[in-house]
Structure 1
């Protein structure tokens, strides 16, 4: 499997040599952090998370520790880190469903984590440099499946010497059936064992201890500040860093979760409803602060 590395100084030459390279893992070192993305066409990634733009690891400059858990927690697929999902999967026939950003899957009767692939839709990948920004664009077309069809574009923008990653999404409903659901971010943050000092916070709110989660909690729209578009997480194993996840529109739900040992997640949701022929655009932003 090929792996492309783009340093802040040599990124333009590397991209010109790579052109529209075939899909593969790639690493960007922009001077503020080193981030590794998974290969969107890797068949080992499971059947739940949208693959394009999926971070496997992110090391702030000078840190030996990723802010994200890199290894599998449960053994279903090899990459954790920071992923997104478009939810729910769309029912087809029997146990089959259309998972947007993945393909056609067969549901496991007891666990959505163990769904298996029936048909994985390929991604078309391009990479380029735009005015000191590393940009990766991934496009996927589903074809028609019992009236469900979509076109999805994911653009990942990483400015040089900036602690920011921006994801831009465009989803078109090209089928004859409507879609009603959500899209959400799912970062697997790496904390110290027992979560000493681990916290999350909403804008203007107090820091809430991760250790107090039991082990999960959902904040519905009525429990979230009006027009809330950001959530922060701190007390990470990388030490001294705070991760802020934000969107270009208000959250309508936030799921909070922790493992028994040293991993936790803050999962903000955005509503995503499309009638046939409609297109929706939205964006997520990750900023790493000291």
Structure 2
């Protein structure tokens, strides 16, 4: 009799386990369906918003260029342009995220003169930093010295790298009231592998220690401190991490409240770590997208 009870109990356990697996499978399928609908919604609404906004910005630029800087209407026009660009930047970020989740992100890694490209990108922020009274330091070696130290070619997706640089530099400007912002590019070792490090450090408000593990999560926002702008969606740093991961790299951060923050972006050298069907071997110069908005609120 005891033996029969053991068999019955075992069969019940098996049935319950099977039912649990099936329920979990159905739950996963339902969540996957909801996620797909969310991605499609973001893509649809982003495209619908981007088209009229882009069409608005072009004539707005013409109006601004047609008026003298001292015209009474100019401050109002500049406010409209700044916020329209901010909205366009948000829409582009949402599109990039939805493309990542739906595996539709177009990636093209190409051989890059990273010293020249980085210097051109970060130089866009120099006038802004000087206007704000900050010491803006670009510590990037010349191409020959850098290449000699690296000893291999560097492959980047230019759109992704541009987004990485613009987000990190914009954040540094937004959260730094006095002192300096330093941009460095140099080779270093991580896990016994030589890599290229893009370092962005500032003497700004810093990030609380408890928040550091969460800052790369999507839509995570730190409680506002003394910053120039409180706008933000929590998308920027999450997107930076996603794009660095696409390059086979990593991002680290150290910060002390009221002392400053340092981000280090680690990029592997060569192209062995990249999918071969995404590598473009013809070295063609790609113009920088000057449509990126530089703002601190």
Could you say whether these structures have the same fold, taking a TM-score greater than 0.5 normalized by the shorter chain as the test? no
Higher relative contact order (CA 8 A, sep 6+): 2
Relative to its length, the structure with more helix (as a share) is 2
Relative to its length, the structure with more strand (as a share) is 1
Q: TM-score range by the shorter chain?
A: under 0.3
